[in-house]
Structure 1
């Protein structure tokens, strides 16, 4: 009598020498750590995977399984929950929701017969580059749907292109997924949208053999635990950054990339209560950025979210969270002076931070002026992260609520445009 259960996974497990489900659980956990994912797989999870009707693995679990077995999960006895190309109305899927539409692999990278011309990969990459440029000036919610769908489309094309074109296409898929993750986390403030996109970005970077994109995906994964407000997640964020640094080193990252990793780590350490460590990291970042030679060792084109000016912005925020109001305000004012006019999202953030610094200096009128400027920018280009910082500063102005400047700020903060945008994102 044929044995019941997931015979494909059981056979693959035994082929690798894992005699028990517990041994496989430990191996998958270790494989996850090697690709920068901090998960613990229990033997009962493996037991469900080897059952007659195995559930589709969580994205992190799927990434670890594929890293361990070197094959797509669809070849390990798992059937994806999406079985057709039905639209949103039929599936009941929420607008822009990528949680179930962004599997790590659809039919497996490079497993189907190639029949698309090599030019498809370059054409796809051209659209990816356009989305990258649109990020700085278009509404986030609409762009997120476009980018997430684009990444999914490229993902499905991967098995159909030649091996020569696969690297170009996988790299573009990784970049698109990374952008979708940035939009989900920073612009829409929905970490549940960002995580599967970042995992897909990491997996596609692996397929492309691009360690720098892998480092970028891993470093972005550190933001969710850092911003969670949960001290128990500190090691999770730090482990993602250790993995990101290992990938960056493997990819011969230039000093600008390493400075960005310093800045991300500084953000993590600041939010977990170690501003001294954060400022030391930023000092190191400033040093290596000053030594960076962009002509001999340029950064990738997709690495467009970091510069010496934005490093100074990181420093201003760290000084602010360390309670050093005057230094933070002076630093941020210098940043605002040299920040390019087109960087409206970052300008709205820096204005909100400068306002918070003014509150520390007990200067509510100046704080309100900065917040009004930030709201002017949000009226043209909504940015949820900036709005949250504005609200936090307004809360700190409670003792000055009777001032005309604070009342005028409230009139702006709760006008039709701002209120509706804050609710629909």
Structure 2
């Protein structure tokens, strides 16, 4: 496979890296009303010759930036199609348009031999690095649970994204940085929720929702409303939890990706169960399963959505069934959740063991329930118990003292509970 030497020469003369060229081309596409579709891999495929004739909109952007035809950049149309080349005067018109709209793009839309500067250093590569940093925090949270150090690191990431936003080369990059800042702030809010610090979480979510709105990113908007639904339930504001879940359902991403729709329906079901709305909750769970069945588990998504699938939905079913007093169904759902939740989600599995123990306790088997609840401590190992897990364990212990206060297993478990509770 022959490489495209003409395009490689054009990049060298302009001082473009592959990432910088992708940024500038996407800036053009955004400016004329299209989505940015050029990534590092796209440019690499052009340079290696794997892609010999770019998509029409991408050709238009290339011709606008380099002020020459696609053929002059080394591209060749398929012989069978006889694609007409773009008239030479079109790049000039587009270049004039770009000069009038964005100073950065204007700086690169000059004749091939006249390049005198480099494109902005704040672009797609910076967004990618921030996303990778956020993904690392998400992985840590999913393994250990929320704590102050992760919250602090997430807020530092949000500040970094907002600082870079001020230097971004285009509106598209600015919006992407607002999205990253929203996601970092939402991550900090989630850690506050998991630490059972609802007032702190509420303040952070207020900031996150503003940033998500400025970004125009429906995934960021969904994440914030999803967390609002969780926070409202934690605060005992169950009607607000349902309203927030409905807001999540209304975001554009749920129409594109059924997995998001499934999670929104499941959150709605949880809120409805706490309001005592049995039939509505069960209907919402049905919608959640239907949407999950339609989703593609391998589709690329934000890292924070990795937790959601059959295991998590089954766990939410267990919460709904426990709340409705359907103990047998709750136990079955918890078993299904544990069978489908990966080991790396340590905190989630620990919480599911406690939920399972509650269902077993309410069916009259205190000994089995205590053994199940104790498993949660082993799952967390030497890691601190997140506040949300502590709260759930406390709820189980209160039920245990109410339903089986004289059982030997209850006394033994109480000793274990007090010992574990003193862990830092």
- Deviations along 1:268-327, one digit per CA (max 9) or x if unpaired, are 1111221321111111111221122345x5543432231121101111111111111112
Per-residue deviation at 1:197?
2.3
Which runs of structure 2 are paired with 1:52-63 in the superposition (5 Å)? none
Q: Distance between the aligned counterparts of 1:191 and 1:238, measured in 2? A: 17
Per-residue deviation at 1:198?
2.0
Which runs of structure 2 are paired with 1:81-120 in the superposition (5 Å)? 117-118=122-123, 119-120=125-126
Per-residue deviation at 1:352?
0.6
Partner of 2:176: 168
Partner of 2:130: 124
Matched, 1:267 2:275: no
Which runs of structure 2 are paired with 1:71-86 in the superposition (5 Å)? none
Partner of 1:321: 323
Partner of 2:281: 278
Per-residue deviation at 1:263?
0.5
Matched, 1:400 2:404: yes
1:206/1:116 Cα in 2 relative to 1: closer, same or farther (>3 Å)? farther
Partner of 1:368: 370
Pick one of 195, 200, 213 that aligns with 2:202: 195
Q: How many residues align?
A: 302
SS at match of 1:160: coil
Q: Does the CA contact (< 8 Å) of 1:313 and 1:350 recur in 2?
A: yes
Which runs of structure 2 are paired with 1:143-222 in the superposition (5 Å)? 143-163=150-170, 164-185=172-193, 187-222=194-229
Per-residue deviation at 1:208?
2.6
Q: Distance between the aligned counterparts of 2:139 and 2:387, measured in 1? A: 19
Show structure 1 runs of 5+ residues with no match.
Answer: 1-113
TM (normalized to structure 1)?
0.66
SS at match of 1:414: helix
- Deviations along 1:2-27, one digit per CA (max 9) or x if unpaired, are xxxxxxxxxxxxxxxxxxxxxxxxxx
Matched, 1:330 2:322: no
Give the alignment's Cα RMSD to 1 decimal.
2.4
Pick one of 240, 245, 248 that aligns with 2:249: 245
Pick one of 411, 415, 419 that aligns with 1:411: 415
1:209/1:263 Cα in 2 relative to 1: closer, same or farther (>3 Å)? same
Q: Does the CA contact (< 8 Å) of 2:270 and 2:316 recur in 1?
A: yes
Q: Does the CA contact (< 8 Å) of 1:257 and 1:299 recur in 2?
A: no
Matched, 1:350 2:358: no
Q: Does the CA contact (< 8 Å) of 1:178 and 1:201 recur in 2?
A: yes
- Deviations along 1:320-362, one digit per CA (max 9) or x if unpaired, are 1111111211221222123211111111111111111011101
Partner of 2:93: none
TM (normalized to structure 2)?
0.66
Q: Distance between the aligned counterparts of 1:413 and 1:302, measured in 2? A: 31
Matched, 1:288 2:291: yes
Q: Distance between the aligned counterparts of 2:335 and 2:244, measured in 1? A: 32
Per-residue deviation at 1:155?
2.3
Partner of 2:258: 255
Per-residue deviation at 1:116?
5.6
Q: Distance between the aligned counterparts of 2:321 and 2:131, measured in 1? A: 39
Q: Does the CA contact (< 8 Å) of 1:121 and 1:166 recur in 2?
A: no
Q: Does the CA contact (< 8 Å) of 2:321 and 2:330 recur in 1?
A: yes
Q: Does the CA contact (< 8 Å) of 2:310 and 2:340 recur in 1?
A: no
Per-residue deviation at 1:149?
2.3
Select between 323-332 and 359-368 the one with higher mean Cα deviation: 323-332
Q: Does the CA contact (< 8 Å) of 1:170 and 1:204 recur in 2?
A: yes
Which has the higher Rg, Structure 1 or Structure 2?
2
